[in-house]
Each structure stands twice: as C-alpha cells, then as structure tokens.
A and B are shown apart, each in its own frame.
Chain A
Amino acid sequence: MTFIVAKDLEKSYQVGEVMVTALKGVSFTIETSSFVSFIGPSGSGKTTLLNLIGCLDKPTSGSLTIGDTDIRSFNRRQSANFRGHSIGFIFQDFNLLPVLTVYENIEYPLLMVQNTPAAERKKRVTELLEAVGMSSQSSKYPDQISGGQKQRVAVARALVTNPKLVLADEPTANLDHETAYRVLELMKKMRDELQTTFIFSTHDQKIVGEAEILYTLEDGKLISRQVKGEAHHA
C-alpha cells in the first residue's frame, strides 16, 4: 500500500545573498511497512528531505502526502500534532533528555505529547524496554549508559506511541560498526513486529546493505533506486 508520495520536491535556502537549493525536484513513493534508506554524501540533501517528510519543514515547491494527508497545508500547531501522533524520531546524537531516566525518556512522548493514561503508559514503556533489551537499565540516566544503549532507548522512544512512520537521520553515525549494525537489526525487528514504516539516512556504505529499498541522493537529486530482498517492490 502506498504510504508516502513525493512529487518534484524542491527546497531552497536563502543564505545571505545566495539561494542554496538543497533538493532539486525529488520524486518517490514509499510503501507501508517498508524499510527505506536514503544514502548520499554529506551535503547531498538527506537531512533536508527527512525534515520535509517529518513535517519539520515545508518544501519550496512540489507536493508531499503522507497517508493521504497533504502536509504542506499544516500550520505550526498542526505540524507539531502530526509529528507527535504519527511520527517517531531517531536522531544522530540520540538526543535523550539528560534529566530523565531511560524509563522516563521512553515515557516522555506518551506523557507530555499524547497525554496517555498512566496504566497504558506503564504497559507500553515496559513492552518497549523489553523489546529493545533495556529493561535492566530503566532507572539509569543517559550519561550512565553507552552510545548503543542510548540509541536503543531512542528507538524505544520513537516507537512507544505506535507511530505509522519512524524517521532516523543518520542514526548510526555516532556508533561503531558493530553497534550500528545491531541498532539497524533492532529497527528491522521492530518493523517486523509493528509494521511501522522506517526511513533512515546514512552516508555510511557499510550499513547500506541493511536497507531494503535504497535511494541514492547526490547534490539534491535522486540518482538511483535499488530494491533488495524479496518482500517489497514499488
């Protein structure tokens, strides 16, 4: 089932006197529950594209729909609501809140964004802690756990609200290869369990193999689309 449709997406930034065009007419479709990666060198427009899909930014031109919703029409508040209810975010620097424990970090979106009742929160957080293998560390603070563990917590935080889509901008850039590989395995496992659509970006050739659909970006343009594995065809 088609989930995301992007047509002729352009995004330009005004930098002083000059216009920098980060995306130059990007079109693609992404199916529900797929595991998609955008790969490309630094500056190729990966973050810009993920920001557009993540309703953090608006395209200069072109159209973008996520699950039949045209996200260009959103105002600030609608964008925030859409992000809070439909999208999970995983960041390159993990971005856990340092004053919250592992448990509380995972609970945050349920408590502070979705106002989920306490019993439901507890159930969800416990499930996710279990799923990412962090149950034993739940009362530790982020500065007491390793990078890989932090990213596991971040994966749990992104998934705790059961979003339709998880966006991860270079989620493994700050991890060693072994750990990066495990985090991707975890993401894939969660996709299999929850049927969530995962989109991540990377410039690391070594982990590219983990993606099932691979888009290559270069200088703001999509230059190739590769499909691996068997389950997902465009």
Chain B
Amino acid sequence: MPGLEDLYREIILDHYRSPRNRGELPVPPATRVEGFNPLCGDEIVIFLSVANGAVEDIRIGGQGCSISQSSASMMSAVVKDKTVAEVHRLTNAFKAMMSIHVGGDDHGDALPDPDVKLGDLEALQGVVKFPVRIKCATLSWNTLAQAIDEAMASEDP
C-alpha cells in the first residue's frame, strides 16, 4: 500500500507552502485562462505572456490542494523563458509521467522526449499511485496548454 510519503514529498509541500509566481499580469497584453477540476472544485487561473514564441512571464492564481498548487508552482518555475515548443515537450513528458498517453497531438512530437528534464517536477511521480489525484496534478498543465493556444492565436495576425 502506498503511503502518504509517496504522495507528499518534501519539495511538494515546500512549493505548496511558498508557491512561486503567485499573482496576476495585466490583461491584455497577457492572456488569462481559468481551469477547473470538477471533482474537487479546484480552480486555477493562469496569466501568461508569450513573446517571440517563448514564455516571457507567467503568474498563477486560484485555489487548490497541495498537489494542484505545487504542480502549478513548479510548472511556472520551469516554463519561464522556454519556447512554446519546449513547453509542449515538457507537457508531454509530465503527462507521460502521470501515465497519460499523449499521442497524435498536432505539435508533431507524439512520444515524450527522453531528453526532457522534469527536474523538481519528478517529485510528483508518486501521484500515479493515487489515481484520483492525477487530475489535481495535471490541472495546471491543461490550463497552460489552453493559455498558450490562446496567446499564440492572438499573437498571429
């Protein structure tokens, strides 16, 4: 039986207690997207600014459990200054770690790249043993994907 320590690694609790990149960005120019976890009522708000095909800045708002909040916090730290293509690779790698099959998306990289380094995010690996929590961990990533799509759409003339 998986124990609580498998789920709540110290680094997760650290990001939960002191979340990175909390706050807002002025909209516009930033894009604001909300995500919901219908299971537990968690709400996340992502403020994203994309410039020259890369994440220029990101802020996180909303409320949620330690898993969704720490996942969002770690995500915000890792995607800053990454190109949109790199963010897609990270997203795929993260979802693969969550045992979510990511194939055939329209960005051309169906299989997660083994070279993608998830860093701190690997602490969330234990979530897989608690299947109802996978949605908590992926909420911010799904919301980010939507924010990127919206930001790119408004960037393209």
A and B co-occur in one complex = no
Residues in B lying within 8 Å of A, measured CB to CB? none
Residues in A lying within 8 Å of B, measured CB to CB? none
